[in-house]
Amino acid sequence: MKDVCTTPAMQLKQENHRKEINANRMLRDDTKNDTETDKTIAAAAFDLEEVLPLPKINEGDMSYSRQSDNYTLSVYGYHDKTGHNYLWNETTAKRGSN
């Protein structure tokens, strides 16, 4: 991948970001391995995915109706190798950390 950073400060920031990504990946992999060897450890990965506007309509039709945002959350349990998906719309709850 070609670097697009032009200043030394930007290059340093990008390098630190890459180091942080690699450290997080190593932590994730170590945790996954720990859950396989020690059954008293439970670990999960969460991903709040892309917002899905429904219904899917053309821009020209937008003036006559309003789209509703729908949210999806995926959870994968490393300890028991199960995945769960949750779907809700904006009338049920807002998107956020709570």
* Model pLDDT for residues 30-61, shown as the tens digit of each residue: 998 999 889 898 899 898 888 888 776 666 65
Higher pLDDT, 92 or 56: 92
For the segment 60-84, what is each residue's pLDDT rounded down to a tens digit?
A: 655 556 677 888 899 999 888 999 9
Q: With 60 as the cut, is the pLDDT of residue 19 above it?
A: yes
Cβ distance 19 to 27 under 8 Å? no
CB 81 within 8 A of CB 46: no
- CB contact at 8 A, 44 and 75: yes
Which residues, at least 6 apart from 46, have a Cβ–Cβ distance to it below 8 Å? Answer: 73, 74, 75
Query: Is 0.85 surpassed by the pTM of this model?
Result: no
- Name the pLDDT band for 17 (thresholds 50, 70, 90): very high
